Structure 1
Amino acid sequence: MPPTTLPGDEERALLRDSVRGFLERHWPPATAVPWAREPARVQALWQQLAAQGLAALGSDPSEGGLREIAPVMEELGRAGCTLPLHHGTLLNLAAPRTPQGEEPALLALQRAGEARVVLCFGAFDGDRGAGQARVDDDGKLHGELAFVEHADSATHLAVVVDGPALALVDLRAVGVRIEATPAMGTQGLFRVALDGIAATILPLSEEQLGALHAMTRLALCARATGAAERAFELAVAYAGERRQFGRPIGSFQAIQHKLADGHIALLGARLTQAGAARQHDLGADNWRVFAEAACALAATTLRRVSLETQHTFGAIGYSEEHEAPRHFKQVHLDVLRHGGGRRAREALADHFLGETPRTLPEYDLGPAGNAFREEVRAWLQTHWSGERKAAHEALDFKAREYDREFARALGRTGWIGLSWPQRFGGQARGAFEQLAFVEEMERAEAPRVGAPVQAAMLQVHGSAAQQARYLPEILRGEAIYGMGYSEPDAGSDLASMRTRAVRDGDHYVIDGQKIWTTTYWGDYMLLATRTDPDASPPHAGLSLFIVPMDTPGITIRTSTTMYGGSFANVFYDGVRVPATAMVGELHGGWKVLVGALATERGFIGGGIVMKVAHAFEQLCEHLRGATGADGRPMRLDPLVRERIADLAGQIEAGRRMMMHCAERVDAGETPLHDAAASKVYSGELMERFGEVALDLLGMEGTLGEGSPGAVLRGRIEQNLRHALMWVISIGTNEIQRSLIAQRGLGLPR
């Protein structure tokens, strides 16, 4: 049973700050490397950390569980400290017992700082070079074990043996030999030989062993994340100071985008690990799926970030006097331990491609979110299933995008106004209920509804008359809006737009052209115009209007998109709209526009990853029943299993970013940079998913809808073609990377 109360985010932040301050005083960067070679130094720090109460983490989950162990490990990684404090704390969590059902005395001793325990999995490690140990008929331990952390500073060893069981031995006993085995130019790993050593045997269940193994790898990923983040922060600071060609290198786009990618990767790694730790502490049955996804992701992304960090430092990063090399080494050592990413990918492949169909585990969205998820699911089963849904799916892509009858039916539920304030007729529901709604809509492949960005804009910037006229239409599902932003010479650079609106009495006359407009067939266009041609800076002269699409002077010329949809060039020739159609202040459109785009990115990041998650589950379902060219089941193909597992980790990162943005919104914050990161990651994840799916499916995967033999009705290849739009629209990912680098990381422009 999970504890009824768990430490909160504020308590974890205090814990993190406390550990960081302690390590800055007792394990400073300047001496971290040489001190790690001195057993007496390591022993002293071990005892000091125990005196701080950190060795007791996990013994009472109400005071600290895996969610508290993870940030402590991150801080050890930041400090370049490889002391294996997690071994004792994870044994606290695993709670092994003697055959009489008692806690072994050693655990109490290690919590008090009187013993220092290191953990080894032996033959159960997952790495073929880890060695093994066995218990003879007299209860004595024999064997040789490799990659044991700081065995020279420990007092006791806990090693997994056949049974499974945990054997506890005193490393100071006669018959124990400890030999240093430098790895990647570091000290701290040892080979331990055991020759007839007395042992205390504690039985372990298979579930306990699996949980202990997963927790250990997750803790090491947390330490690697701390190391990678510390090096990354140093690289960001260096990029802001180091000058080349008369400018800080951090002002160069290549460096900015490299570091933006690093920020996004680290965000995903940190969030997936924290999410897995939370699932464990809440007692979720599927927490190990989250843990394996976090470990699979960390194994690739943290090493890539470490490489790119070294590239940013250039030659200065070669020097062992610099901090960066120690963090690079630690990242690689930590994510490889105990089978590393390979072990995690095997577990994920078993989960998603096993004979028993399994999907991505659902998030706990809280009582309100979980209940609303079921309510939406039931409504869709009634209103979007059977013949009704089948008839819609028989349409081509363009016709499937919107369904007025469905929109009006949904409008009668009031859910189009889920997040709206009650004064506008909304339901004022929280962000997690909104996530539940998006999740179920994507799973049901329901057409989009409403105009969330325009509604939010009107609620903040609209006049009372605009709010009274337009919001009820949107709420009832009776109105759909397009966005008229981009122009031939103003794509990402919207401040360069030329479409003009000139005042003429009580009206404005609009002339210009908009391109790439997707919802040109809607009832209204939210149109960005220039009302001050001489404004300086240029973005100060923009204004926004709501323009009914049946207004005289509008000409629409459509084009078919590469993904089977359509967009249009829309020409505005002498289009007259009343001055009351302006949204916000005169020349104040930039403020409204930027806010709207940020809002849309927040919606898009979550929506895209939900689309990918749904397509991933469909692909796994297909692969479970498919055979390869050799006649063997595709689910057993090593390449298929590896690629599916990699995707599972990446999708979990995207889902966690989505949840992170929701948490910040629920806290009353506006997650501009996090929304940009979510949009960048999710859009490119959709592309990667499509490419991987085609690799696995081969030519069958390229068959479009309507083709005989098309896999999943041709949706895989169509989604890949569609993915390009999500990367480019609403501010290209390159622009978003610059935003993250300059405004999120503080790099110079």
Structure 2
Amino acid sequence: MLRELPSDEDRQILQEAVRGFFADLSDRAVVVTAQLWKQLAAQGLTQIAASPAEGGLREIVLVQLEAGRAACPAPLADAGLVNLMQPAARNESPALRAFLDDLHAGEAMTALSFASFDHDGAAGWAQLQGGNLNAELAFIESADIVTHLAVFVPGPALVIVKTGEGVTAEPTPMMGKPGWWRVRIDAPPLATVPFTEREVRDLLAVAAVAEDARAFGAAQRAFEQVVAYAGERCQFGQPIGRFQAIQHKLANCHIALRAVQLTIANAAAQYDLEAAPWRWFAAAALATAASSLRRVSLETHHAFGAIGYSEEHEAPRHFRQVHVGVLRYGGQRSPVEQLASHFLDRDGDVRFPEYDLGPAGNAFRREVRAWLDTHWSGERRDRHEQLSFAEREYDREFARALGATGWIGLNWPKRFGGQERGAFEQLAFMEEMERSGAPRAGAPVQAAMLQVYGTPEQQQRYLPEILHGEAIYGMGYSEPQAGSDLASLKTRAVRDGDHYVINGQKIWTTTYWGEYMLLATRTDPNASPPHAGITMFIVPMTTSGIIIRPSETMYGGTFANVFYDEVRVPAENRIGAEGEGWKVLTGALATERGFIGGGIVLKVAHMFELLCEYIRTAERHGRPMRRDPLVRARVGALAAEIEAGRRMMVHCAEQVDKGETPPDEAAVSKVYSGELMERFGEIALDLLGPEALLSEHSPGAILRGRIEQMLRHSLMWVISIGTNEIQRSLIAQRGLGLPR
């Protein structure tokens, strides 16, 4: 039975209180004293996780995050972890109870060591011998002022000793500053609490998550400061935050920090909710933090320039905290190996852990899976997979079958024939469609556009065709001189009575073979600003005057140059008022971007699972590939990166569920996922060698050439729907508030 834990609102109140407490302290480095510890206790921070009402790992993470922001070295996490262990429930000794009471009151302060259980062999050793605890421990924080030490010994057991006689501490400065100690112990225990090996390993993972949360808080605080600095610091007559190089550097940092934030929060929540895969999620969070936070810390200092070198500035404190924090419990090696083991050391259908999408989302996932087992399996699916990539892109028979379910209108309002399902049901649908390899269906951008800006007549005519899987649309946006700068498009639409006459050229047009084209045109060539003169039309592709010149893409599909020569389109096909096309177009793209990153990362996740399935039985030079240390390291690191992308996908779904679609958050997911697809392809080729370059239908092609084909396809996702460079500028300007 799950414990009754604090609510999100309770956690928000706690976070605001902790941040307010630290804000009242000096803006210089916080010095831990007995008086400060009592003040922290008065705030209730030494009681975190002491009972279900006092929270769990999520509350410890929250406090650690704020301690990291304030550069506070107090052992708050150690106190929280001791509370989380519930030692009094395992040993009812009066001495242990008195210690816990003093800890909560601020009269006792403890430092925790896992000793030989730590992943880092340099952390020290400890054992009970002759009635005493004998130990030599490294990397102990605040050892000069703590009143007690809590140390794990073989058995295993947690041993608590008082500092004083028999305990000596030798300073061991780290990264040029004091605060860390080597401790030697030969003293009688105050109390001994039994544990199991599994429990100690779990607690070590929990401790690492808490320490990474403090490192994240430090990195986030320094990043916020450098963003503010970039908006104020002027060079060459303007703020440096206006320079694209700075904007994109800081956008990259923001993306990396979002990955860490989301994976740590999820790991803590999964632990508190006692979810079965919480250890997997914790490993993913630890691997993500270890690879991302130090990179962000370095980039932050690059943007600060020389000002960040000064010890009078906060940045050096945060730089140290980041590096110490992510390495304190062993860094990236152990969690990466844990992730690799999940995918390479098990038999059967090994996948990423499924998310709990709520009752409706989980039930709908099962429903979609059952439908696909009936309608997209066996010979039907095998026949489709033997086709070339271009032929697999769309299947009209499947689209109509899916249309009969109503799921193409999954999130549409009921007045348009939709089902008004939530974002998590939409996510469940996307997951199952991608995992089954089913072809795409529907026209989500065009449907959203028609629902918001279409006339009643347009809605009655076009929406049922989309809903039933009977029509698909292309998007006629880009032109030879108007790609990312879409406001400069030149295709003209001139009113002629009840029609518009369209002349111009569109390039890189996919789905040109559909029933309709959603076409962006210019109706006012003199409009200022230029985007004010754009108007959108639905153009049937059978209309006279349309000339299509297909071109094969490097990823095996096709797009086309489409020429419009005196094409007459009824005025009733205009979407929105004349000149309102920019609003119509950008609103539709924002809708698409809200889930585009999720769609990409699901493709990568599925291909990664197939790659691992191949590696589990493959050999290189007579040895199993899965035993190769390099293979395991790359697989584990990739698993962590994909998990971060999945968390961004869920984060976007949470926002959509609240009725929000912040363009900068959608851009974060799109940028991360598109470039993840590229990285995946390159790493897979490194692991598999030249055989992985063999294309579909080539003898000996690994996974029928899917990996190299995905690498070629990945370039499109980085460029299309707004290049990643444009998306980084959007993140910097709208998300971070840097000057335009």
TM-score higher than 0.5: yes
Q: Distance in 2 between matches of 1:81 and 1:345?
A: 29
Q: Could you tell me which residue of structure 1 aligns to residue 17 of structure 2?
A: 18
> Is 1:511–1:572's contact at 8 Å kept on the other side of the alignment?
yes
Q: Is 1:161 matched with 2:161?
A: no
Q: How does 1:262-273 map to 2 (within 5 A)?
A: 262-273=253-264
Q: How does 1:113-262 map to 2 (within 5 A)?
A: 113-136=106-129, 138-172=130-164, 174-262=165-253
The alpha-carbon deviation at position 102 of structure 1 amounts to: 7.2
> Is 2:506–2:563's contact at 8 Å kept on the other side of the alignment?
yes
Residues 211-236 of structure 1, C-alpha deviation per residue, up to 9 Å, x if partnerless? Answer: 21111100111111110011001111
Q: Distance in 1 between matches of 2:53 and 2:440?
A: 43
> Is 1:94–1:211's contact at 8 Å kept on the other side of the alignment?
no
Which of residues 697, 702, 705 is equivalent to 1:711? 702
The alpha-carbon deviation at position 199 of structure 1 amounts to: 4.7
Structure 1: segments with no counterpart, 5+ residues: none
Relative to structure 1, is the Cα distance of residues 575 and 102 closer, same or farther in structure 2, using a 3 angstrom cutoff? farther
The alpha-carbon deviation at position 468 of structure 1 amounts to: 0.6
TM-score of the superposition, structure 1-length normalised? 0.97
Q: Could you tell me which residue of structure 2 aligns to residue 406 of structure 1?
A: 398
Residues 602-633 of structure 1, C-alpha deviation per residue, up to 9 Å, x if partnerless? Answer: 1211100101111111111111111123x221
Q: Is 1:370 matched with 2:362?
A: yes
Which secondary structure state, in structure 2, belongs to the residue aligned with residue 6 of structure 1?
coil
Which secondary structure state, in structure 2, belongs to the residue aligned with residue 532 of structure 1?
coil
The alpha-carbon deviation at position 645 of structure 1 amounts to: 1.1
The alpha-carbon deviation at position 42 of structure 1 amounts to: 2.9
Q: Could you tell me which residue of structure 1 aligns to residue 316 of structure 2?
A: 325
> Is 1:602–1:675's contact at 8 Å kept on the other side of the alignment?
yes
Relative to structure 1, is the Cα distance of residues 471 and 221 closer, same or farther in structure 2, using a 3 angstrom cutoff? same
Q: Distance in 2 between matches of 1:134 and 1:199?
A: 14
Residues 465-493 of structure 1, C-alpha deviation per residue, up to 9 Å, x if partnerless? Answer: 01111111111011101100000000000
Q: Could you tell me which residue of structure 2 aligns to residue 395 of structure 1?
A: 387
Q: Distance in 2 between matches of 1:408 and 1:581?
A: 25
> Is 1:46–1:85's contact at 8 Å kept on the other side of the alignment?
no
Residue identity in the other structure for 1:398: A
Residue identity in the other structure for 1:703: L
Instruction: Figure out how many residues of one structure are paired with residues of the other and give that number.
Output: 737
Which of residues 530, 544, 547 is equivalent to 1:555? 547
Residues 14-33 of structure 1, C-alpha deviation per residue, up to 9 Å, x if partnerless? Answer: 2111101101113x322x1x
Q: Distance in 1 between matches of 2:593 and 2:421?
A: 20
Q: Could you tell me which residue of structure 1 aligns to residue 286 of structure 2?
A: 295
Q: Is 1:431 matched with 2:423?
A: yes
TM-score of the superposition, structure 2-length normalised? 0.98
Q: Could you tell me which residue of structure 2 aligns to residue 346 of structure 1?
A: 337
Relative to structure 1, is the Cα distance of residues 542 and 123 closer, same or farther in structure 2, using a 3 angstrom cutoff? same
Q: Distance in 2 between matches of 1:439 and 1:445?
A: 10
Q: Distance in 1 between matches of 2:471 and 2:195?
A: 62
Residues 134-190 of structure 1, C-alpha deviation per residue, up to 9 Å, x if partnerless? Answer: 111x33111210001111121111111111211111112x11101111000222211
Which secondary structure state, in structure 2, belongs to the residue aligned with residue 332 of structure 1?
helix
Q: Distance in 1 between matches of 2:51 and 2:656?
A: 32
Q: Is 1:647 matched with 2:638?
A: yes
CA RMSD, aligned part only?
1.3
Residue identity in the other structure for 1:29: D
Which of residues 474, 497, 518 is equivalent to 1:526? 518
Q: Distance in 2 between matches of 1:139 and 1:701?
A: 61
The alpha-carbon deviation at position 422 of structure 1 amounts to: 0.7
Which secondary structure state, in structure 1, belongs to the residue aligned with residue 598 of structure 2?
helix
Q: Is 1:90 matched with 2:88?
A: no
Q: Distance in 2 between matches of 1:345 and 1:253?
A: 34
Q: Distance in 2 between matches of 1:647 and 1:743?
A: 30
Which secondary structure state, in structure 2, belongs to the residue aligned with residue 55 of structure 1?
coil
Q: Distance in 2 between matches of 1:721 and 1:102?
A: 65
Which secondary structure state, in structure 1, belongs to the residue aligned with residue 121 of structure 2?
coil
The alpha-carbon deviation at position 107 of structure 1 amounts to: 2.9
> Is 1:683–1:726's contact at 8 Å kept on the other side of the alignment?
yes
Which secondary structure state, in structure 2, belongs to the residue aligned with residue 402 of structure 1?
coil
> Is 1:512–1:572's contact at 8 Å kept on the other side of the alignment?
yes
The alpha-carbon deviation at position 711 of structure 1 amounts to: 1.2
Q: Distance in 2 between matches of 1:455 and 1:101?
A: 65
The alpha-carbon deviation at position 111 of structure 1 amounts to: 2.0
Q: Distance in 1 between matches of 2:88 and 2:371?
A: 49
Q: Distance in 1 between matches of 2:636 and 2:93?
A: 39
> Is 1:94–1:208's contact at 8 Å kept on the other side of the alignment?
no
Residues 523-542 of structure 1, C-alpha deviation per residue, up to 9 Å, x if partnerless? Answer: 11000000000000000100
> Is 1:225–1:270's contact at 8 Å kept on the other side of the alignment?
yes
Q: Could you tell me which residue of structure 2 aligns to residue 497 of structure 1?
A: 489
Which secondary structure state, in structure 1, belongs to the residue aligned with residue 185 of structure 2?
strand
Which of residues 612, 615, 624 is equivalent to 1:620? 612
Q: Distance in 1 between matches of 2:89 and 2:568?
A: 84
Which of residues 480, 483, 502 is equivalent to 2:475? 483
Residue identity in the other structure for 1:124: F
> Is 2:117–2:201's contact at 8 Å kept on the other side of the alignment?
no
Q: How does 1:719-734 map to 2 (within 5 A)?
A: 719-734=710-725
The alpha-carbon deviation at position 63 of structure 1 amounts to: 4.0
Which secondary structure state, in structure 2, belongs to the residue aligned with residue 29 of structure 1?
coil
Residue identity in the other structure for 2:2: P
Q: Could you tell me which residue of structure 2 aligns to residue 638 of structure 1?
A: 629
Q: Distance in 2 between matches of 1:84 and 1:77?
A: 11
Q: Distance in 2 between matches of 1:686 and 1:43?
A: 51
Q: Distance in 2 between matches of 1:45 and 1:485?
A: 61
The alpha-carbon deviation at position 98 of structure 1 amounts to: 6.7
Q: Distance in 2 between matches of 1:706 and 1:478?
A: 31
Q: Distance in 2 between matches of 1:2 and 1:649?
A: 28
Structure 2: segments with no counterpart, 5+ residues: none
Residues 247-267 of structure 1, C-alpha deviation per residue, up to 9 Å, x if partnerless? Answer: 111111000000000111101
Q: Could you tell me which residue of structure 1 aligns to residue 69 of structure 2?
A: 78
> Is 1:512–1:571's contact at 8 Å kept on the other side of the alignment?
yes
> Is 2:91–2:193's contact at 8 Å kept on the other side of the alignment?
no
